[in-house]
């Protein structure tokens, strides 16, 4: 099964081919990236079916390691492995990646740097595939960082404009805060276990010192929170929407932000040993699910609605992890990857059609964009958790886990979050597709953009039923939804949709929500200010940091520069002395040798008379002398 190693290699190869080319050539060769992606997709499908029917999660189907180095007697090994979780992730990444790449052919075709876009996308895919195939935390961390770089590159893809540039820096720095935690977690892990491999770490976690497991788990969680945009490190994700929409679909909806969930799912045994970490995870997820949902409900930018929705859904996954269920988290990750990337791709079409991202300037798209409407509706219903779309099944599984673990508080929060989710989904849908048309030249997208959406929509529609087998595949007992769980869930979703319809879909006019906002008063202000997260960071982190930097700069200017200048002055005096020495002694020597050479040259130039025959005589004379020597010696 060595071909598994080729799966991340193909997109990496595509990147290696594209990156060094000139822009023009790169644009023309973007097919290389698509081809690499297609190859990975085929191999991933094969790998998935070779892993089927899965089962034993603790025994990888395929595992290979290479010793890299030896650190104080302990071998440092790196390798790849394929187990059911990896196989499922591979399939998700490659399917969504393929859809996004095909979609981008249409979406980005007028961009002058489309070749670079494809190169970055390929590198990202390679890193993500490597991440899910890694058999140790260190390699996972490396791929994790490469993904962070690609995310930075793609958010800032249109770096001529201010917003993407700032957003890319914000995303990079915010996730870096989490990554520092991840790194500390890695150090603590190596300290405790003496290895990075999943097998070694997870196998020995039970025997660690009590505090060590908690420290490692919390630090890993911190890293995951950065990458998966969990409160309070979620602030970068909405801004990251400044990047190209298909890239958002792949990176900031389906795959990279799910890497945090994947990390925690991998490391869950450590969390279970700790216990405290598990509770923290649960509550981080619960708060994030609520905050994300609430903020999504007041956004006007269609992509930001989806971004906050992603944050909220990732919170759901953390809730599942906090409740100790890898299956529910992974299942929601898979379904969410499909329906959220579908929604993002649909949003791309909508933005292209109406030339704006502001939902208040949209409306009536349903009449003109038939296929987009149908596919987007499928995605919306899945997000809202309506039967039989995939979101219903995975959300149901999470709720079931919560009830089983008797986490009633979080269960209620999750239900409220589901209600809010349904509400903003309805708000989005009615605003965009219903109501009066605000633009007269609405047109459907190209087939290359619609085809991936249709594929994702059909996956979203049917995949939910696979939940039972997915659980079995990951080596757990599958279960079908029970009425005591899906009834409240459906009621919450229905209520949310109904409220959304009542507020936004009831009347065929543009709703004036101002009175509503006035009545909500302070609460609305709080939400529209994004719960003051950005303001808080700005006031308490960024501004003080800037002030500190300024203070340092002044200190630099006054003190350090003073020292530097003092050194410079004394150096100058020294140099003056050196200069004089130079002039007299060194230059003297140089000049002497120069004039000596000149004198020698003027003697020698007399030989160079410039007449051919004089040279001929020298040559013949030399030959005669040589011959004389030979003959005399021979004789």
Is 622 a binder of another protein (CB under 8 A)? no
E-strand stretches of 12-147: 62-71, 74-82
Is 591 a binder of another protein (CB under 8 A)? no
Q: Pick between residue 31 and residue 621 the one whose CB is nearest to another protein.
A: 621
Binding to another protein in span 413-432, by CB under 8 A: none
Copy the structure tokens of residue 520: 């909500």
Q: From the CB of residue 90, how many other CB atoms can be counted at a distance below 10 Å?
A: 26
| Min CB(598)–another protein separation in Å | 13
Is 515 a binder of another protein (CB under 8 A)? no
Q: Pick between residue 529 and residue 594 the one whose CB is nearest to another protein.
A: 594
| Min CB(75)–another protein separation in Å | 59
Burial class of 408 by CB neighbour count within 10 A (0 to 12, 13 to 18, 19+): exposed
Q: Pick between residue 69 and residue 612 the one whose CB is nearest to another protein.
A: 612
Is 612 a binder of another protein (CB under 8 A)? yes
Nearest to 330 by CA among 172, 475, 184, 546: 475
DSSP letter at 369?
-
Q: Which of 2, 72, 613, 633 binds another protein (CB under 8 A)?
A: 613
Q: Pick between residue 191 and residue 630 the one whose CB is nearest to another protein.
A: 630
Q: 610 — phi, psi (to 5°)?
A: 90, 0
Is 603 a binder of another protein (CB under 8 A)? no
Q: How far apart are CA 254 and CA 313, in angstroms?
A: 11
| Min CB(592)–another protein separation in Å | 23
Is 610 a binder of another protein (CB under 8 A)? yes
Please provide the DSSP assignment of 227-283 as one string.
Answer: HTT-TTS-THHHHGGGS-HHHHHIIIIISGGGHHHHHHHHTHHHHHHHSHHHHHHHH
Q: Pick between residue 546 and residue 627 the one whose CB is nearest to another protein.
A: 627
- Judged by phi (left if over 0) then psi (alpha if -120 to 50, else beta), residue 476 lies in beta
Q: Pick between residue 6 and residue 624 the one whose CB is nearest to another protein.
A: 624
Is 516 a binder of another protein (CB under 8 A)? no
Is 634 a binder of another protein (CB under 8 A)? yes
Part in contact with another protein (CB under 8 A); list of ranges 64-72, 83-91, 377-385, 602-610: 602-610
Q: How far apart are CA 346 and CA 35, in angstroms?
A: 24
| Min CB(47)–another protein separation in Å | 58
Burial class of 167 by CB neighbour count within 10 A (0 to 12, 13 to 18, 19+): buried
Is 605 a binder of another protein (CB under 8 A)? yes
Is 627 a binder of another protein (CB under 8 A)? yes
Q: What count of Cα atoms within 13 Å lies in the side-chain half-sphere of residue 417? A: 31
Q: Pick between residue 72 and residue 613 the one whose CB is nearest to another protein.
A: 613
Is the CB of residue 385 less than 8 Å from the CB of residue 489? yes
Nearest to 285 by CA among 224, 339, 215: 224
Q: What count of Cα atoms within 13 Å lies in the side-chain half-sphere of residue 81? A: 23
Is 621 a binder of another protein (CB under 8 A)? yes
Part in contact with another protein (CB under 8 A); list of ranges 134-142, 172-180, 251-259, 620-628: 620-628
| Min CB(601)–another protein separation in Å | 9
Part in contact with another protein (CB under 8 A); list of ranges 82-90, 409-417, 577-585, 616-624: 616-624
| Min CB(1)–another protein separation in Å | 55
Binding to another protein in span 105-124, by CB under 8 A: none
Token pair 């075709």: residue = 109
Q: From the CB of residue 121, how many other CB atoms can be counted at a distance below 10 Å?
A: 31
- Cross-strand pairs, 477: none
Q: How far apart are CA 148 and CA 171, in angstroms?
A: 9
Part in contact with another protein (CB under 8 A); list of ranges 20-28, 280-288, 377-385, 608-616: 608-616
Q: Pick between residue 6 and residue 628 the one whose CB is nearest to another protein.
A: 628
Is the CB of residue 96 less than 8 Å from the CB of residue 41? no
| Min CB(600)–another protein separation in Å | 13
Is 624 a binder of another protein (CB under 8 A)? yes
| Min CB(596)–another protein separation in Å | 18
Q: Pick between residue 6 and residue 594 the one whose CB is nearest to another protein.
A: 594
| Min CB(593)–another protein separation in Å | 21
Q: How far apart are CA 88 and CA 82, in angstroms?
A: 10
Copy the structure tokens of residue 70: 């030896």
Q: How far apart are CA 386 and CA 216, in angstroms?
A: 38
Is the CB of residue 64 less than 8 Å from the CB of residue 79? yes
Is 355 a binder of another protein (CB under 8 A)? no
Q: With CB under 8 A, what is the number of residues at the site for another protein?
A: 19
Q: From the CB of residue 128, how many other CB atoms can be counted at a distance below 10 Å?
A: 32
Is 628 a binder of another protein (CB under 8 A)? yes
| Min CB(599)–another protein separation in Å | 15
Report strand pairing: 62-71 vs 74-82.
Answer: antiparallel
Q: Which of 412, 551, 563, 620 binds another protein (CB under 8 A)?
A: 620
Q: How far apart are CA 83 and CA 473, in angstroms?
A: 10
Is 597 a binder of another protein (CB under 8 A)? no
| Min CB(629)–another protein separation in Å | 10
Q: Pick between residue 72 and residue 602 the one whose CB is nearest to another protein.
A: 602
Is the CB of residue 160 less than 8 Å from the CB of residue 209? no
Q: Which of 159, 443, 580, 617 binds another protein (CB under 8 A)?
A: 617
Site of interaction with another protein (CB under 8 A): 605, 608-613, 616-617, 620-621, 623-624, 627-628, 630-631, 634-635
């Amino acid at each position: 099964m060595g071909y598994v190693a080729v799966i991340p290699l193909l997109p990496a190869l595509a990147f290696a081919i594209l990156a060094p080319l000139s822009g023009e050539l790169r644009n023309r060769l973007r097919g290389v990236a698509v081809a690499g992606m297609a190859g990975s997709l085929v191999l991933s499908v094969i790998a998935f079916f070779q892993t089927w029917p899965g089962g034993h999660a603790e025994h990888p189907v395929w595992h290979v390691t290479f010793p890299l180095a030896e650190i104080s007697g302990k071998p440092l090994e790196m390798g790849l492995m394929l187990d059911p979780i990896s196989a499922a992730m591979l399939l998700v990444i490659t399917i969504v990646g393929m859809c996004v790449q095909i979609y981008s052919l249409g979406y980005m075709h007028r961009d002058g740097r489309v070749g670079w876009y494809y190169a970055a996308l390929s590198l990202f895919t390679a890193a993500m595939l490597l991440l899910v195939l890694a058999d140790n935390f260190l390699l996972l961390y490396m791929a994790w960082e490469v993904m962070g770089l690609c995310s930075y590159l793609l958010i800032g893809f249109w770096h001529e404009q201010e917003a993407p540039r700032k957003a890319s820096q914000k995303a990079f720095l915010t996730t870096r805060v989490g990554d520092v935690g991840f790194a500390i977690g890695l150090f603590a892990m190596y300290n405790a276990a003496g290895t990075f491999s999943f097998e070694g770490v997870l196998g020995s976690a039970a025997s660690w010192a009590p505090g060590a497991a908690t420290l490692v788990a919390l630090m890993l969680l911190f890293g995951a929170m950065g990458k998966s945009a969990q409160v309070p490190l979620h602030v970068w994700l909405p801004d990251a929407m400044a990047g190209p929409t298909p890239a958002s679909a792949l990176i900031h909806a389906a795959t990279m932000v799910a890497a945090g969930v994947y990390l925690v799912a991998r490391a869950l045994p450590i969390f279970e040993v700790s216990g405290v970490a598990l509770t923290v995870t649960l509550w981080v997820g619960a708060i994030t699910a609520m905050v994300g949902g609430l903020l999504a409900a007041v956004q006007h930018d269609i992509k930001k609605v989806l971004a906050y929705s992603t944050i909220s859904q990732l919170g759901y996954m953390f809730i599942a992890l906090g409740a100790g269920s890898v299956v529910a988290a992974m299942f929601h990750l898979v379904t969410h990857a499909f329906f959220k990337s579908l929604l993002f791709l649909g949003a791309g079409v909508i933005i292209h059609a109406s030339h704006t991202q502001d939902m208040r300037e949209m409306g009536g798209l349903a009449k003109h964009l038939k296929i987009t409407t149908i596919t987007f509706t499928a995605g919306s219903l899945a997000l809202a958790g309506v039967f039989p779309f995939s979101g219903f099944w995975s959300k149901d599984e999470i709720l079931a886990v919560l009830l089983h673990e008797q986490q009633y508080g979080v269960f209620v929060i999750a239900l409220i979050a589901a209600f809010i989710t349904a509400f903003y989904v309805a708000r989005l849908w009615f605003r965009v597709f219903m109501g009066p048309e605000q633009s007269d030249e609405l047109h459907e997208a190209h087939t290359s953009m619609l085809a991936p959406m249709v594929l994702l929509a059909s996956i979203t529609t049917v995949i939910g039923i696979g939940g039972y087998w997915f659980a079995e595949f990951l080596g757990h007992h599958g279960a079908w939804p029970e009425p005591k769980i899906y009834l409240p869930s459906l009621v919450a979703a229905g209520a949310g949709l109904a409220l959304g319809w009542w507020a936004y879909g009831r009347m065929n006019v543009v709703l004036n929500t101002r009175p509503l906002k006035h009545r909500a008063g302070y609460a609305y202000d709080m939400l529209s200010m994004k719960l003051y997260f950005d303001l808080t960071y700005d006031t308490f982190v960024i501004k003080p940091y800037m002030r500190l930097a300024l203070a340092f700069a002044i200190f630099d200017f006054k003190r350090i520069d003073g020292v530097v200048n003092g050194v410079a002055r004394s150096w100058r005096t020294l140099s003056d002395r050196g200069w004089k020495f130079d002039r007299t002694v060194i230059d003297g020597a140089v000049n002497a040798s120069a004039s000596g050479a000149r004198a020698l040259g003027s003697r020698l130039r007399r030989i160079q008379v410039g007449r051919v025959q004089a040279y001929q005589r020298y040559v013949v004379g030399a030959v005669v002398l040589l011959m004389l020597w030979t003959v005399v010696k021979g004789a």
